[in-house]
Structure 1
Amino acid sequence: MGYGVSLHVSGDYALFSRPEMKAERVSYDVITPSAARGVLEAILWRPAIRWVVDRITVLNRIEFESVRRNEVGSKIPPRNVSAAMAGSKVDLHQYINEDRQQRASLVLRNVAYIIDAHFVIIPEKAGESDTPEKFYNMFLRRARQGQCFHNPYLGCREFAAKFRFVEAQGERPISYYANDEDYDLSWMLWDIEYEQKEFKNKTLYSFNPRFFHARMVNGIINVPSEVSL
């Protein structure tokens, strides 16, 4: 197990989309573990480490707001991309004015969380100089200085996240739900596992979403380290 870190994350809006909602986007009540991991990876990502989210503390009251956003209604087909890579002349453009769709979204507003996490070393990808102390100090330096590989976001790229490293226990704000003993958040996306397989000289990609039953006790969600299918 690697060194533990605590990160204060906040933003004006957030959208952690529920996969069961097809046409319109509806957010989970709180940040998902996979989205929390994405914030950590935006600050420090290395092939030799894997971030594991331990706890999520919900600091602000859960509030929703309905907004309408312009979205593109289609994607560029993968076969067109493959044909272009093979040298064929195909159109890879997306024409926004012709493919624009306006959709409603139920988003969170004024969110703030504390993410408690640790990282583990991946032996097959780690070099001789890749030690837990090395990556821990790298994260400390980058988080303290506000450095990141790309700006972290809260579910959608347009909802930017602000972050700061929590140095000591006394710097942790008190949760709005600190006196609520039990808050059932129902089933929530834990993470998505991607698999790569070779089949008949072709590379096939698949993904397996995993869910867990989230419960918030005194404002804290304990995230399981493993979730079975």
Structure 2
Amino acid sequence: MSSIKPKNSIEFLLTGRNALFTDPITRIGGEKTSYHLPTYEALKGVCKSIYWKPSIIWVVDKVRIINPIRTQTKGMKPIRYHKDGNDLAYYTYLHDVAYQVQAHFEWNLHRPELEADRIDGKHYSIAKRMVDKGGRQDIFLGTRECQGYVEPCEFGSGKGAYDDIDELGYGLMFHSFAYPDETGLDELHSRFWHAVMRFGVIELPKPTDDLQADARNGMPNRFVRAMSAKTFELESNVEPVSQTEASL
């Protein structure tokens, strides 16, 4: 394996005691059961917690399952927002998870107002330092109550629980959200895909800003609701990097 890495790519080990990766439709209430695999959106959220600026878009390339897939069911008391008191529900979490993740960032071309922030090397250097520090913000594994931790690693190193299994199919799963600032549309869409794990590694398809092309390539999507992208301006409502770095 070549030691030369692209200057926009990071690799990290993601671990946690529990994880809950679900289809957003099931988050309304009642029982919740985790997918056996982390979703693209959840891993992208971890990358954004490590380091994010509106001028970049994180793309998750692949994830490797290190620990055996185990589940743990817990009795929970979710808040009833329509009336006082609590309900009793059972949530099925993944237990004792560990993943190796490889991801890279690309310029967000739907943010022309931030073109001056597309500086080669700057974002990569900061992202690498943030991986070493365990992330800029708290890491969550699908939901707030599932705390996660990141540290640097070399993707493919060590022994994984599924290295000797040639293929496992998981059917149709939620993939990610298509946000307005990444597609140029004033709409929010959800994407889906057919997940397959080969020798412990899941190659994650890269979403594009063309939803029709994604659908033709095996990634169907569904309209969720109308949504507009937030507008950013450099040195205005985005904290300067020099000021952020000085506080670390």
TM-score (norm 2): 0.73
Q: In the aligned structure 1, how far is the partner of 2:180 from the partner of 2:51?
A: 23
- For 2:242, the equivalent position in structure 1 comes to none
| Cα offset, 1:3, TM superposition | 1.6
- Contact persistence 2:135–2:150 (CA under 8 A): no
- For 1:177, the equivalent position in structure 2 comes to 162
Letter in 1 for 2:151: R
Larger Rg: 1
Q: In the aligned structure 2, how far is the partner of 1:63 from the partner of 1:111?
A: 8
- For 1:92, the equivalent position in structure 2 comes to none
> What does 1:47-126 align with in structure 2 at a 5 Å threshold?
47-74=54-81, 98-123=84-109, 124-126=112-114
> Would you say how many aligned residue pairs link Structure 1 and Structure 2?
198
- Contact persistence 1:25–1:105 (CA under 8 A): yes
Q: Name the structure, 1 or 2, with higher relative contact order (CA <8 Å, separation 6+).
A: 1
Moved segments of 4+, more than 4 Å: 19-22
- For 2:241, the equivalent position in structure 1 comes to none
Q: In the aligned structure 1, how far is the partner of 2:155 from the partner of 2:64?
A: 13
- Contact persistence 1:18–1:26 (CA under 8 A): no
Aligned sequence identity (%): 25
Structure 1 169/51 Cα, relative in aligned 2: closer, same or farther at 3 Å?
closer
| Cα offset, 1:147, TM superposition | 3.8
- Contact persistence 1:2–1:120 (CA under 8 A): no
Unmatched 5+ residue regions in structure 2?
1-5, 208-213, 216-220, 222-248
| Cα offset, 1:18, TM superposition | 3.1
- For 1:162, the equivalent position in structure 2 comes to 149
- For 2:172, the equivalent position in structure 1 comes to 187
Residue among 6, 13, 17 paired with 2:11: 6
| Cα offset, 1:130, TM superposition | 2.6
Q: Does 1:153 align with 2:140?
A: yes
- Contact persistence 2:132–2:152 (CA under 8 A): yes
| Cα offset, 1:126, TM superposition | 2.9
TM-superposition CA deviations, 1:161-184 (whole Å, max 9, x none): 011022x457x2321000000011
Q: Does 1:43 align with 2:31?
A: no
Q: In the aligned structure 1, how far is the partner of 2:46 from the partner of 2:166?
A: 28
| Cα offset, 1:30, TM superposition | 1.3
Unmatched 5+ residue regions in structure 1?
76-94, 197-204
Structure 1 104/206 Cα, relative in aligned 2: closer, same or farther at 3 Å?
farther
Residue among 178, 191, 197 paired with 1:216: 197
Letter in 1 for 2:172: W
Q: In the aligned structure 2, how far is the partner of 1:147 from the partner of 1:110?
A: 20
TM-superposition CA deviations, 1:70-113 (whole Å, max 9, x none): 211227xxxxxxxxxxxxxxxxxxx8xx2322211111000010
Q: In the aligned structure 2, how far is the partner of 1:220 from the partner of 1:165?
A: 18
More strand by share: 1
Farther off after superposition, 37-46 or 22-31: 22-31
| Cα offset, 1:6, TM superposition | 0.8
| Cα offset, 1:154, TM superposition | 0.4
TM-score (norm 1): 0.79
| Cα offset, 1:193, TM superposition | 1.6
Q: Does 1:142 align with 2:142?
A: no
Structure 1 69/4 Cα, relative in aligned 2: closer, same or farther at 3 Å?
same
